[in-house]
Amino acid sequence: MDARLVRNRATIGRPGGAHAAMSLVIDHITKRFGDVVALDDASFTVEPGRIFGLLGANGAGKTTSMRIVLDILRPDSGTVTWQGAANTELPRRTWGYLPEERGLYARMKVGEQLRFFSALYGVPDADARAVIDEWLERFRIPDYLDRKVEELSKGNQQKIQFMAAILHDPEVLIMDEPFTGLDPVNVRLLKEAFLQMRDRGKTLIFSTHQMEQVEELCEAIAIVDRGKVIVSGAVRDVKRAMGRQVVRLATDGDGRGVEWLSNLPGVTFTAQRADYVELQVPAGQDPASILSAALERGERVTRFEIADPSLEEIFVEHVGRRAVSEEEEHLAATAHEEPPA
């Protein structure tokens, strides 16, 4: 399926207009570093008060788009607006940022360091102290206030870094791979913090490779590949736009042949698991037809499930297919070339 078509469909499915003025709008951004095109006419919209996932392979352009939104990097062309105002005009405290490369002043005490960053964002010192205590408590590290950062474990350093990003109560929180390096307990703590911030009306954007986090948290996503936004929009719309549904079927006739399933019109047999089979049904065909076909054959159905394709499938399909086709193009192109002398 054509990527452009998918994007258009996802875009059409999104409620636009009234919301767009309040949203974070990344509009036709292009950014080159020398000969490398980091972002190529990238556009997507993040609605306020939502958790938004930015997906892409390594080097796809996620970090560059975040830096451009934060206005620490300027694009070659295109604009970023938040609630109608250009990001270059917005005060720094609008944003909170957790960079992918973690870094704090190693030899500075936790409390001092967090108060320093709060001061840069214009938070009065007394307020900063109160908020720092509150968050240290929530992250179960209250006695780290006077410890030097270099004495902390990586995971705890990361929690401090997250605090540095949010102590000034930003409207938009942008995080590059926030979950990497955290144990399950801390992942849970961080997710709770995300949801709580979302409930307070904050907008959260994060990038990750871990699709389960996206499935669990994100209401909308954008998939970026080689500087291009392949698809963006509400997760539901993105899944629908794939144009197919997944059916998982199990019958108690174990070991009996399932060949009859592939004879059903339009149905693609995708996987046989230990206790069920997985099928794909194209859009426009009612998945229930499989169930009725099974019942007609006299099968005893123990499981019948209609699901959207997982984000992982969607991601692999978009990014993987593109990568493969470009590889082929590249091979085809170089086959005719003589190696340079």
Partner 1 sequence: MSNVFPNALHVARREYLFRVRGRTFVISTALLAIAVAAVTMVPTILGAVGVGDPPEVAVHVAADDLATDPIVAIQAVLIAGGGPEGEEPAPDGESEERARVTRADDPEAAADAVRAEELDGLLTITRGASGDLAFEYLSGSGPTDQTRVLITQAANAMTIADRLERAGISAGESAELFAPPDFTAVAADPDDARGDEDFGGSIILTYVVVILTFMAILTYGNWVAMSVAEEKSGRVMELLITAATPRQLLTGKVLGTSAAGLTQYVVMILAVVIGFVANGPLSAALGVEGQLPFTLPDLEISWLLAFTVFFLLGFILYATLYAAAGSMVSRIEDVQQAVGPLIYLAMAGYLSSFVAMNIPDEPWVKIASLVPFFSPYLMPARMLLSTVALWEVLLAVLLLAVTVVGAIWVASRIYSAGVLLYGQRVGIRSVLRATRVAR
CB of 6 to partner 1, least distance (A): 31
Q: How far is the CB of 28 from partner 1 (least distance, A)?
A: 16
Q: Name the site residues for partner 1 (rule: CB under 8 A).
A: 34, 67, 70-76, 88, 91-92, 95, 97, 99, 101-108, 116-117, 119-121, 161, 164-165
Q: How far is the CB of 34 from partner 1 (least distance, A)?
A: 7
* Residue 51 Cβ vs partner 1, minimum distance, rounded to whole Å: 20
Strand partners of residue 16 = none
Rounded CA separation 50/319 (Å): 24
Question: Which has the closest alpha carbon to 27: 10, 12, 39?
Answer: 39
- List the structure tokens of 279: 């099928």
The one-letter amino acid code at 173 reads L
What Cα–Cα distance (Å) separates residue 77 from each residue in 36, 42, 43, 174, 333? 15, 10, 12, 21, 30
Residue with Cβ nearer partner 1 (81 or 161): 161
3-state DSSP percent of the chain in helix, strand and coil, to 5: 40, 25, 35
In what helix (H) or strand (E) does residue 10 lie, and over which residues does it extend? helix 3-13
Note the Cα 100 to chain centre separation in Å: 14
**Complex with partner 1: residue 111 or 287, whichever CB lies closer:** 111
Closest distance of CB 166 from partner 1, Å = 12
Residue 132: exposed, middle, or buried by beta-carbon count in 10 A (0-12, 13-18, 19+)?
buried
DSSP 318: I
Judged by CB, which is closer to partner 1: 36, or 331? 36
165 vs 223 by CB, closer to partner 1? 165
* Minimum gap (Å) between residue 174 Cβ and partner 1: 9
Q: How far is the CB of 86 from partner 1 (least distance, A)?
A: 12
What's the CA gap between 241 and 254, in Å, rounded? Answer: 34
Q: Which is nearer to partner 1, 90 or 311 (CB)?
A: 90
Q: Which is nearer to partner 1, 154 or 273 (CB)?
A: 154
Choice between 101 and 259, CB closer to partner 1: 101
Max Cα–Cα distance, the chain, nearest Å: 74
